[in-house]
Amino acid sequence: MKRKGFIFDLDGVIVDTAKYHFLAWKNLANSLGFDFTEIQNEQLKGVSRVESLKKILAWGETSVSEEKFQELMTLKNTEYLEFINKMDDSEILPDVPRVLDYLKDNNQGVSLGSASKNARIILEKVNILSKFEAIVDGNDVSKAKPDPEVFLNAATAINVKPEDCIVFEDSVAGVQAANAAHMISIGIGSQDVLHEADYIFNDFTEISTEFINKLINN
């Protein structure tokens, strides 16, 4: 078998933390006197904390001082971490461990490529950190998805060429980043949102061993 690189996004792919990001941002927007929709929220997925807040403030036609901006970032993250601290391994999305174990048993490279600065703490909470050979997260990159930096670094970290990597992503920005890195992009979520991906599945229960073998041997 060849050795390919399998790069996993975290939020919305391994765990459903996308719902906690949404709740925390929504509460923050509401406290500033406006709201945003779940459709707008798709634009926040995969996007860094700073860029997310910029978008939200623009939707609310609100501008704040640099000091207030930092305060709002801290407020959001504090609320978000309250959700995270309650997490355990029951929140790992269905069949993610099956796929991770299969890849490991078959000597494939496995790394994380996430925009989150909370990635390690989440992986520890759900007890899955040891399944990754390398972690590249929001602390390691300077350019947010759709820039390919996070995935290129995640490939380098496991010593696999970008064209031999496969990315699992739930966000539009992340699929675009994978495509920009010349990797195979696998969208996890709805066809309507993720149509730029090479393959799309609702979740990992739809990803068969045959399909993984095909990715490895292609």
Minimum distance, C-beta of residue 160 to ligand BG6, in the bound complex (Å): 22
Minimum distance, C-beta of residue 193 to ligand BG6, in the bound complex (Å): 13
Distance CA 73, CA 108 (A): 37
Is the omega angle on the peptide bond into residue 94 within 30 degrees of 0, that is, cis?
A: no
Element (H, E) at 43: none
Does residue 60 belong to the site contacting ligand BG6 (CB under 6 A)? no
Judge whether 95 counts as a catalytic residue. no
- Closest by CA position to 109, among listed 138, 89, 135, 128: 135
The interface with Mg ion within residues 131-170 (CB under 5 A) comprises 170
Beta bridge partner(s), residue 7: 111, 167
Q: Which of 11, 16, 35, 198 is catalytic?
A: 11
Element (H, E) at 11: none
Distance CA 93, CA 101 (A): 14
Does residue 118 belong to the site contacting ligand BG6 (CB under 6 A)? yes
Judge whether 9 counts as a catalytic residue. yes
Q: Among all residues, whose Cβ is closest to Mg ion?
A: 12
Does residue 116 belong to the site contacting ligand BG6 (CB under 6 A)? yes
Does residue 133 belong to the site contacting ligand BG6 (CB under 6 A)? no
Integer-rounded Cα Rg, in Å, for the chain is 17
Chain CA centroid to CA 119, Å: 9
Binding mask 140-179 for ligand BG6 (x = CB under 6 A): -------------------------------x--------
Minimum distance, C-beta of residue 26 to Mg ion, in the bound complex (Å): 17
Element (H, E) at 103: helix 96-105
Return the residue matching tokens 């490529």: 113
Coil, strand or helix at 18: helix
Residue span binding ligand BG6 (CB under 6 A) among the ranges 96-104, 108-116, 186-194, 196-204: 108-116
Choosing from 11, 133, 137, 149, the residue that interacts with Mg ion (CB under 5 A) is 11
Residue 46's CB is within 10 A of a number of other CB atoms, namely: 29
Residue span binding ligand BG6 (CB under 6 A) among the ranges 40-48, 88-96, 153-161, 203-211: 40-48
**Interface residue list for Mg ion (CB under 5 A):** 9, 11-12, 170-171
| Footprint on this chain of ligand BG6 (rule: CB under 6 A) | 10-11, 21, 44-49, 52, 77, 114-118, 138, 171
Catalytic (active-site) positions: 9, 11
